[in-house]
Amino acid sequence: MDRVLFGDNQFFAINHISDEKARTQAIKFKDDRAIIKTLDYAIDAGVNTFMCTTHDRIANVCDHVRKHPDKYKDFKIYPCMPYAHKYANAVTELGYLGTLKEYIPGNFFNSMFKGGVAYLSKDFVSILELLIDAEMKMFKGINTPVIWMQNVITDLLLGLGMTDILLGFHNYVKKTYNAEAGFITMNMPKLLATLEAGGVENPIICTSINKIGFRMSGGIELYEETLKTKKVRVVAMQVLAGGAIPAKEAIEYISNLPNIESVLFGASSKAHIDDTVAYIKHFDGLR
């Protein structure tokens, strides 16, 4: 994975600290051209990986990337799925049958048959495979070397002890899309132990890591001990704790931790992108 990954929260009015900032960002990015312009700022700063949800508007970004293959020849997208709001909205607008027709790929009746058998037999892994295929439709022809399970689902399965579905996601992504599976979580130590017990070696985990313990289940000490003693490839997110920590201070802390393979951040301006990338490069050089 690249050292620096660019996220999409700012594009879809997600701010964990300030509703006012979220509203401002919603206005700024109401047009897809604003999203693409900001992605181009990130690329200019040397960031060639975009980690994003499967929000409907991301399909427009994918269309733009496919239409300009030379410009985006080194560009990668890390899809994060499932995007629950998309399905909830689709059911409201299209109904259950319409939603299935909209999102299930390939031969509809074959897919329905597979899904129906899966449901009746409670084969949740097969249901998950259908969801993965549906979510990946928009990324056809785009380099997607890591495919992520969203933290809402990861942590739900983790809490319910449904390890077989976590492993099913890992195996299906590798087999079908020739990609590595990543897991987003708010409880990295527990998830890592669960994946290791299931036979997944050196997994890719994206988790909140920051010096004030923001959204870090188990606390900073447990996270730091896990990073020091376990084999894991970590993508650090929410390193600024939603804006509560200055960028320079936050990135200095992250850069001194072991096993942080990548840093994920989102920004809505060229200046913030350039500053954050510069801080990461600076502190990496001091390690």
What digits encode the pLDDT tens for the residues 96-140?
666 666 665 555 445 545 555 444 445 678 878 888 998 999 999
Spatial distance between the Cα atoms of 42 and 274, rounded to a whole number of angstroms: 8
Spatial distance between the Cα atoms of 227 and 212, rounded to a whole number of angstroms: 17
Spatial distance between the Cα atoms of 47 and 58, rounded to a whole number of angstroms: 18
pLDDT at position 128 is: 86
Residues contacting residue 166 through CB under 8 Å, at least 6 positions apart: 149, 154, 157, 158, 183, 194, 195, 198
Coil vs helix vs strand at 138: helix
pTM: 0.88
For 205-264, how does the pLDDT look when each residue is reduced to its tens digit (9 = 90+)? 999 999 999 999 999 999 999 999 999 999 999 999 988 999 999 999 999 999 999 999
For the chain, percent of residues with pLDDT exceeding 90: 73
Minimal CA–CA distance to 237: which of 162, 278, 285, 184?
184
Spatial distance between the Cα atoms of 247 and 276, rounded to a whole number of angstroms: 7
Contact 257, 283 (CB under 8 A): no
> Between the CA of residue 88 and those of 22, 92, 100, what are the distances in Å?
21, 6, 12
- How many CA atoms, within 13 angstroms, populate the side-chain half-sphere of residue 147? 27
Q: Which of 4-13, 79-88, 246-255, 269-278 has the lowest mean pLDDT?
A: 79-88
> What is the residue whose two structure tokens read 């084999």?
231
How many other C-beta atoms can be found within 10 angstroms of the C-beta atom of residue 105? 14
For 151-185, how does the pLDDT look when each residue is reduced to its tens digit (9 = 90+)? 999 999 999 999 999 999 999 999 999 999 999 99
Spatial distance between the Cα atoms of 165 and 170, rounded to a whole number of angstroms: 9
State the angle between helix axes of 124-136 and 108-120 in degrees (0 to 180), rounded to the nearest 10. Answer: 150
Environment class of 69 (CB within 10 Å of its CB; exposed 0-12, middle 13-18, buried 19+): exposed
Contact 265, 239 (CB under 8 A): yes
Minimal CA–CA distance to 153: which of 166, 164, 142?
166
